[in-house]
Amino acid sequence: MDLQEYAVGLDIGTTKIVAMIGRKNEYGKLEILGVGRSKSLGVHRGVVNNITQTIQSIQQAVDQAEAVSGIKIKEVTVGIAGQHIRSLQHSDYITRGNSEEVIDQSDIDILCGQVHKLVMLPGEEIIHVLPQEYKIDGQSEIKEPVGMYGGRLEANFHVVVGQVASIKNIYRCVKSADLDLKKITLEPLASADAVLSQEEKEAGVALIDIGGGTTDLAIFKDGIIRHTAVIPQGGNIITEDIKAGCSIIEKQAELLKTKFGSAWPGENKENEIVSIPGLRGREPKEITLKNLSKIIHARVIEILENVFVEIKNYGHDDPKKQLIAGVVLTGGGSQLKHIKQLAEYVTGMPSRIGYPNEHLAGDSDAESTSPVFATAVGLVMKGLEDGYLNSKLEEQPVEEVEKEPVVEVDEIEQPEPEVQESKKRGFFENWTTKLKDFLDNAE
């Protein structure tokens, strides 16, 4: 059988874990071959707090994706979020030995490498070093320095930092589920790839990804990432409020939120009532949709106001930094009724719901194009774009692979793609490899 090139995105969220297999079709669009989804039991606010349960949830999602696609998954691109993520701005420069030679990729790699050596707080590690704008011999606002002449190469960087322990825990879960971790990427960056257009990134846009445990923010202007933040509040907090406010169990609260919930109380009339069955023969509870909306409204306002504080921290009030394209809402929380209108009310900016269908093939099913899968689609795109096409997986029934695992692994791992990839590998990819080696040796 011919080996084909795929990428697998693994979205380890607070409420769900999604494994998605995709490849590029002949038109350059993303074709989703299989999606596996399981309830996330060992993750709290984006951070793994139970290794065993997380491994089981990952295996369940992966098994489901394998069954749908008939493909054995070996390598995954994983998203990272959580309340431990923070970002900072940093400027750095290098002085080149020979200013008569043109600047090439190796100079940029050396400059990025310097930033990776920054001393962080104890227990923290740099996840991403994202160059924003370059300056060559005093000439500023250069977006692409390769091919230019100059002695002093300077750049502003957006640096994303996370807890070493959290990153190691994710790696341990992935490895224990018999998978190879090929890349860790910040979830809001993956979601942005899936739902934002280049025009929006140029004009200025804030992507708000409302997940179960966290709300992720990514701000773009002039096509460059300007600000990222992770707010430790999401859809689960709304469910908890409904549970406490209506004195019902969590399962009922979640159903109420998704079926009848609205972020705008003015839409509901006083006499609209929903009846909740009582537990074990108890009397049913009657809840007015007006009160339900008031509970949801209060919490969504709080989440959006926290996001707006971050947008102000970026400097949205400065005319040069204005976000002309406004706000794009995605993630499971964006499916709440009237949340778009509430976002416009809080931020004073135009908003839309972000669906990951722009890059997907036309025959994709409705499930894949839901905002719930925005991060997973973005992770698959990252896996394909960044040269992680080494996941050459053999298309065959999964059962056969399980019978003869040693033979299949040998067949899959024969190609050595390192030579082709070495030129394009960034420093974070090298860091992931070093972390992998360190953990392997530690065992």
DSSP, residue by residue, 228-270 = EEEES--HHHHHHHHHHHHT--HHHHHHHHHHH-BS-GGGS-T
For 68-121, the pLDDT digits (tens) are: 999 999 999 999 988 889 999 999 999 998 888 999 999 999 999 999 999 998
Q: Which neighbouring-strand residues pair with 48?
A: 43
More confident residue, 385 or 3: 385
| Across 27-31, 37-41, 267-271, 380-384, least confident range | 267-271
Are the C-beta atoms of residues 300 and 234 closer than 8 Å to each other?
A: no
Alpha-carbon distance of 57 to 48, in angstroms, equals 12
**What per-residue confidence (pLDDT) applies to 433?**
64
For 183-196, the pLDDT digits (tens) are: 899 999 999 999 99
For residue 104, CA distances in Å to 71, 109, 310 come to 39, 9, 35
Flag whether pLDDT at 406 surpasses 90: no
Mean pLDDT of 138-165: 92
Instruction: For residue 303, give both structure tokens.
Output: 């989440």
Alpha-carbon distance of 96 to 352, in angstroms, equals 46
Instruction: For residue 322, give both structure tokens.
Output: 């204005």
Flag whether pLDDT at 236 surpasses 90: yes
Read off the pLDDT band of 399 (50, 70, 90).
very low
Residues contacting residue 312 through CB under 8 Å, at least 6 positions apart: none
Flag whether pLDDT at 404 surpasses 60: no
Flag whether pLDDT at 198 surpasses 50: yes
Mean pLDDT of 172-182: 93
Lookup result for tokens 């919930």: 261
For residue 272, CA distances in Å to 127, 268, 288, 292 come to 49, 7, 6, 11
**What per-residue confidence (pLDDT) applies to 410?**
38
Domains contained in the chain, CATH given: 85-163 (3.30.1490.110), 197-353 (3.30.420.40)
Alpha-carbon distance of 400 to 404, in angstroms, equals 7
Three-state DSSP class for residue 397 = coil
Flag whether pLDDT at 269 surpasses 90: no
What length is written for the chain? 443
Among 86, 94, 138, which residue's Cα sits nearest to residue 114?
94
Residues contacting residue 344 through CB under 8 Å, at least 6 positions apart: 326, 327, 350, 351
Flag whether pLDDT at 392 surpasses 60: no
Alpha-carbon distance of 234 to 210, in angstroms, equals 6
Instruction: For residue 379, give both structure tokens.
Output: 């992770």
Read off the pLDDT band of 429 (50, 70, 90).
low
Give the chain's mean pLDDT: 85
The dihedral through the CA atoms of 159, 425, 155, 96 has a sign that is positive
Flag whether pLDDT at 132 surpasses 80: yes
